[in-house]
Amino acid sequence: MSQAVLARLLALLVPVGLLGSALASQYLGGLHPCEMCYWQRWPHAAAILLAAAAFHLQARARLLTALAALAIAVSGAIGVFHAGVELGWWEGLTRCTAGGALSLDELMNVPLVRCDQVQWSWLGISMAGWNAMLSLSSGAVITGLLARDRT
């Protein structure tokens, strides 16, 4: 497998795994995302579309894979900011999320989710922290693979 194909595969599988984990934690694990959690999801969704397109548009595969790597890294950068807010390193957003368009009764029963409070962590690292580390390192690996590939 060439390095470009490996980069393309990583550009697809990494955001699928990270976005899938976020959605599973929400819908299967009962964790309600805050506003910044949603922000981290959008670049992963874009990366999935870009990487999938890279498999189908061979003439633009390198560019699309590089853009997917950039989108993954953007999610990681948002994760760094979110983790910093959780750790109290800097001020975060003042608004929180309670979901989309809800009736008054539904709204009263939805938990208020703050961006500055960790809902889940593993090894002392929050979901935002894990996303930051995995996304930034994956974006760098994908970019490195593309840079080394001469095809």
Which residue ranges in the chain fall short of pLDDT 50?
97-99
The answer to whether the pTM exceeds 0.75 is yes
* 82's tokens: 């979110």
Query: Which pLDDT does position 110 carry in this prediction?
Result: 61
Q: What pLDDT, on the 0 to 100 scale, is given for residue 30?
A: 84
User: Is the distance from CB of 21 to CB of 37 less than 8 angstroms?
Assistant: no
Beta bridge partners of 113: 97
Nearest to 14 by CA among 73, 54, 56, 59: 73
| SS3 (DSSP) at 149 | coil
How confident is the model at residue 137, as a pLDDT? 96
Interacting residues of 22 by C-beta distance below 8 A, sequence separation 6+? 33, 37, 40, 41, 44, 127, 131
Cα 109 to Cα 138: distance, rounded to the nearest angstrom = 38
Per-residue pLDDT, 49: 96
Instruction: Give the per-residue pLDDT at 118.
Output: 65
